[in-house]
Amino acid sequence: MVWWSAHAPVEIGGVPLHGLVARAAAAYPERTALVDGASGAAVTYAGLTARIDTIAGWLAGSGFGRGDTVALWLPNVPPFAAFALAAMSLGGTVAPLNPALTFEEAAAQLGPSANTVVVTTPALARTAAGLRGVTRCVVVGEATALPGTVTLADVLAWAGPRPGPVEVADDAVAALFGSSGTTGLPKAVELTHANLVAVCRQLTGSIGIDDADVTLAVAPFFHILGFTAELMAPLSAGATVVTQHRFEPMAFADLLRGHRVTYLAVPPPVAAVLARHPACTGLDTIRLVAVGGAAFAAGRQRELAARLPGAVVGQGYGLTETSGAISIPTRKEGSAPGTVGRLIAGTELRVVDPTTGADLAADTDGELWVRGPQVMAGYRGNPEATAAMVDPDGWLRTGDLGHVTPDGDIVIVDRLKDLIKVNAMQVSPAELEALLVTHPAIADAAVVGRDDERTGQRPVAVVVARSGARVDPDEVIAWAGARIAPYKRLAGVHVVDALPRTPSGKLLRRLLDAGG
């Protein structure tokens, strides 16, 4: 059985990503495009266009052109957008990098490149300048005496010629993202202009983003959620993007109020702050909160909805390999708690038996396969991994186990590779984790499998205590055991200070020890 999106299909291609934003800039030149949350400095769409043109001129004058790379090793700051769009306007590729990456990890994501311009912070400048293939290093922030670097002010002072129009094909690679690496080794995901334009149109259509919206970008731009749902989609609609370069709850609440934010796309840790922090009250301008990037328990979604009675709250679902979007909450209805919404425009979905490959019906768990214009071009330099992920007909194997309800809502059960086998019966870590975080002493939880001679595996919990609370492992085992089938019973509970997670909140199970 194939499920189709109920939304009207979006136009495919026809304009590159920078061209899509340029259309919004032409329609709303005096509208504020970007605001630096820390300083309050703002730029209009007309000002953003001028900055893009200036940066493109500087890049071209530095020898940058089609096929070259701009690496953005930055937190969330407005220059990120201008450099990204300028590089794309010259036919270049953008590689957003996590500021927490090591030199080796950054080099692996970039791969071989004859001409890379890296834009980074003073703290990373020396490391960035040493990356293979880097020809210029731009420092955003205070001036640095490091040889071979220039400042953002130097670039914006460019008075040389501006390049003429460069034709960019729909299938040209616009961005290179690192996969999260939650299972296996990280891979470099190639997203084309057609992919990113499609996802911008899908998001703005389904969510209803327009030029009256204001969003606060807290999910990092190096993550696909931040790049598409918080930056490029809003800019393509003429909305205002306020950046927060380092998340801090009090500053977050102040920015929400001060800029009268209407729309948020946030990872679960930020959603939890929004639901529980005492500073996050009275936020009556927010109309939609879309939670994505990792699982968000149904109970916590209800808690957030209760905190924001004037807003619609929902979850979305996507992978870096799908440009960040498969399903989405709508502006009018959000999504049903416990689900990740419904298929985004132009997208098809199948639920496939992982063993037989047979298509499954509604309410039956299987691997989710998706197809749509947002599906990646492939993994850079890794055709074997690409073929293993996307079949010849364009169906992408998500690796996620789930089902579709009769109403069309998508439910994610777990990662197929994470399922724990107890006497040949499948135990979902995500199910147990969702239960454990409802315990009054537990703030966060992860469940992994531990080898067992008798049963094959047993589930073990790794938990974080709530502030001021004490976790009694035996009590938690008994408490959970009263609420689950016997074969799901925990074999142990270990208390830690924090769980390893990606910036989007996705759990890094490979870093957990089943022995505690």
- For every residue of 172-196, which 3-state class applies, written as one string? CEEEEEECCCCCCCCCEEEEEHHHH
Q: Is residue 330 within 8 Å of residue 313, measured between CB atoms?
A: no
**CB–CB of 348/372 below 8 Å?**
yes
Q: Is residue 449 part of a domain?
A: yes
User: What is the average per-residue pLDDT within 88-102?
Assistant: 92
The residue to which tokens 């298509």 are assigned: 359
> What interhelical angle do 268-276 and 298-307 show, nearest 10?
50
Domain membership of residue 201 (yes or no) is no
Per-residue pLDDT reduced to its tens digit, 220-278: 999 999 999 999 999 999 999 999 998 999 999 999 999 999 999 998 889 989 999 99
Reported residue count of the chain is 516
User: What pLDDT digit, counting tens, does each position of 377-389 carry?
Assistant: 999 989 999 999 9
Provide long-range contacts, Cβ within 8 A and 24+ apart, for 447-454: 447/420, 447/490, 448/420, 448/509, 448/512, 448/513, 448/514, 449/420, 449/421, 449/514, 450/491, 450/492, 450/514, 450/515, 451/514, 452/422, 452/491
CA 273, CA 252: separation in Å to the nearest integer?
A: 9
Q: What is the pTM assigned to this prediction?
A: 0.85
Looking at 86-100, 199-213, 266-280, 494-508, which range is the least confident one?
A: 494-508
Question: Would you state the pLDDT for residue 439?
Answer: 95
Rounded mean pLDDT of the chain? 91
**Burial classification of residue 311, based on how many CB atoms lie within 10 Å of its CB (0-12 exposed, 13-18 middle, 19 or more buried):** buried
Give the pLDDT of residue 181: 44
pLDDT at 186: 66
pLDDT band at residue 89 using 50, 70 and 90 as cut-offs: very high
Residue 126: CB atoms within 10 Å: 14
Q: Note the pLDDT of residue 480.
A: 94
Domain-embedded: residue 97: no
Integer Cα distance of 339 and 499 in angstroms:
24
Would 83 be classed as within a structural domain? no
Find the range with the poorest average confidence among 43-47, 175-179, 185-189, 340-344: 185-189
Please, are residues 329 and 314 in contact by the beta-carbon 8 Å criterion?
yes
3-state secondary structure of 368: strand
- Name the percent of the chain lying above pLDDT 90: 73
Q: Is the pLDDT of residue 513 over 90?
A: no
The full 3-state SS of 264-324, as one line of letters, equals: EEECHHHHHHHHHCCCCCCCCCCCEEEECCCCCCHHHHHHHHHHCCCCEEEECECCHHHCC
pLDDT at 447 exceeding the cut of 90: yes
Kindly give, in sequence order, each residue whose CB lies less than 8 Å from that of residue 329, ignoring residues fewer than 6 positions away.
Answer: 207, 288, 290, 312, 313, 314, 315, 316, 335, 341
- Can you tell me the distance from the alpha carbon of 218 to that of 266, in angstroms, rounded to the nearest whole number? 7
> Which residues share a beta bridge with 243?
36, 217
pLDDT digits 0-9 by tens, 475-507: 999 999 999 888 899 999 999 999 998 776 778
Close Cβ partners of 54 (under 8 Å, ≥ 6 residues apart) = 155, 156, 158, 162
Among 54-63, 127-136, 298-307, 318-327, name the one with the lowest average pLDDT.
Answer: 127-136
What contacts 360, CB < 8 A, 6 or more positions away?
1, 351, 352, 353, 366, 403
- Dist. CA 464–CA 507, nearest whole Å: 13
Query: In the structure, what pLDDT confidence band is assigned to residue 109 with cuts at 50, 70 and 90?
Result: confident
Reported as a pLDDT band with limits 50, 70 and 90, residue 101 is confident
d(CA 93, CA 90): 9
What residues contact 183, with CB distance under 8 A and at least 6 apart?
Answer: 399, 415, 417, 418, 509, 510
Distance CA 297, CA 277 (A): 18
Q: Is the model's pLDDT at 31 over the cut of 80? A: yes
Assigned domain for 427 exists? yes
What pLDDT is attached to residue 182?
Answer: 41
Whether 183 shows a pLDDT value over 50: the answer reads no
Which residue in the block uniquely carries the two structure tokens 């794309």? Answer: 88
Q: Which of 106-115, 301-310, 358-367, 449-458 has the lowest mean pLDDT?
A: 106-115
DSSP-assigned states of every residue in 17-66: HHHHHHHHHHH-TTSEEEEETTT--EEEHHHHHHHHHHHHHHHHHTT--T
What CATH number is given to the structural domain containing 465?
Answer: 3.30.300.30
- Number of structural domains, the chain? 1
**Domain presence at residue 254:** no
Residue 1 or residue 426, greater confidence: 1
Contact 75, 220 (CB under 8 A): yes
Which stretches does DSSP call E strand in 221-272?
240-243, 263-266
Query: Is residue 460 included in any domain, yes or no?
Result: yes
Q: Quote the pLDDT of residue 365.
A: 94
Residue-range definition of the domain harbouring residue 489: 419-511
